[in-house]
Structure 1
């Protein structure tokens, strides 16, 4: 009887793997927010926006005040969005503090759309590292954010909670695409070095693949996880749980790499 109670079912494995993934993501978000506050926030106070160039050479342009304001909007509002977005996914908060969930969700939607539009403007006008296809994938994520926001809000207003949650998850994943990319690319650097990456132009098959895995694959994996949660096929459920554990491990490796090689040196340098 005791062994039966202790038996771990595929559904339980899936639930635990999802929690592990979320915990790893929260750790990465905490480090990312710290980097944004100490890197961009503190620099803007001490040296002005021009000091952002040491963090990103496309962050400031003296001849483009509109772009500078949008970059500041894109980065600084992300601090609030990242924190608020993750709070939306905690079931206990949704249940116990429903009013907070509703208003925080509205703020998250507004910030996510604003940040995405600012980011798309900057990519189109200023450009960034990588090639056109990479830029297109980032813009795709921005479009998913806006579309998901509209549909999530519509579903919430119509009291269609199931549909609302589906689109809210898509919104959350698309809004975190940039962080996913950083974690995955640095996990690759730590594991395989610059294999498949032209470091001079930041292009190559690896960069393109990781871009797809950052902006497109999370949406597909979310559908797989949702399907695995309701199917009776134990193999699919178990394999999906294993996939979530693998992704969690990649996040941890990537977090170690990006903090050590990028975020920490940028803050103290």
Structure 2
């Protein structure tokens, strides 16, 4: 649904030559006369759609087993796109700003740097045929790249659970926003680390912690997807 929203709202506005409509949902979005920044933003949005589709496909074991060459080329494309989208995001957040003030700016920047590190490590281990390490870093890259998605669905889940914008703030700089600016990628990353450690050193406690983390994350994200679809994405497509 997120991809449909990106293409259906941002893409449709661009095709209609009305990029100023992006500013309905973006802070520091389209700027008249700001050619370089506008091109970076457009590329960032397009790459977001590509990477949202490509990431889950790379995690399908059957694809790796039956179409290894396709998996490799899709992986290269994914890593390069992850690097470019991170650089574009860093450029935009420090030249055009973002909602949420400094907490969001710093949170997005840390996320971007972590994506760059994870993507480079995934590429290096793949090139060296260290497949297990490559798999771990590739999964970390996927989680970190998905930070913007986790932020949106987590935010809507929080609003639905509290039946209102508790801790959001009038200027989108409330305590929950400041917390979730970092938690949107660090919390899923922590669950991934628990999952990988449970694989390395199986124990009842480790398995229980991993299962609990996955269940909580799945329930919260499921609730958030419903909220984001009904409250954020579908209204922009109608």
Q: If the TM-score is normalised by the length of the shorter chain, which range does it land in? A: over 0.9
Q: Is the CA contact (8 Å cut-off) linking 1:138 and 1:215 kept in structure 2?
A: no
Shift of 1:209: 1.9
- Tell me the alpha carbon deviations over residues 26-67 of structure 1, each in whole angstroms, 9 at most, x when there is no partner: xxxxx1000001001111111332232233242200131111
- The answer (yes or no) to whether the contact 2:148–2:184 under 8 Å persists in 1 is yes
Match of 1:194 in 2: 165
1:103 aligns with 2:73: yes
Structure 1 unaligned spans of 5+: 1-30
Whole-angstrom distance in 2 between the partners of 1:183 and 1:95: 32
Q: What is the number of residues matched between the two proteins?
A: 237
Q: Structure 1 residue runs of 4+, over 3 Å off? A: none
Within 5 Å, give how 1:24-173 maps onto structure 2: 31-173=1-143
Q: What RMSD in Å do the two structures reach over aligned CA positions?
A: 1.3
Distance in 1 (CA, whole Å) between partners of 2:202 and 2:68 is: 32
Deviates more, 1:214-223 or 1:111-120: 214-223
Distance in 2 between residues matched to 1:194 and 1:55, nearest whole Å: 17
Q: In 2, distance between residues paired with 1:217 and 1:202?
A: 21
Q: Who wins on radius of gyration, i.e. which is larger?
A: 1
Residue among 151, 156, 160 paired with 1:181 = 151
Query: Deviations 1:209-230 (Å, cap 9, x if unpaired)?
Result: 2222212222222111111223
**Higher mean displacement: 234-243 or 112-121:** 234-243
TM-score, normalization: structure 1?
0.84
Which residue in the other structure is 1:5 paired with?
none
Q: Which runs of 5+ in 2 are unaligned?
A: none
TM-score, length-scaled by structure 2: 0.95
Secondary structure of the residue that 2:172 maps to in structure 1?
coil
Question: Of the two structures, which has the highest relative contact order with CA contacts closer than 8 Å and spacing of 6 or more?
Answer: 1
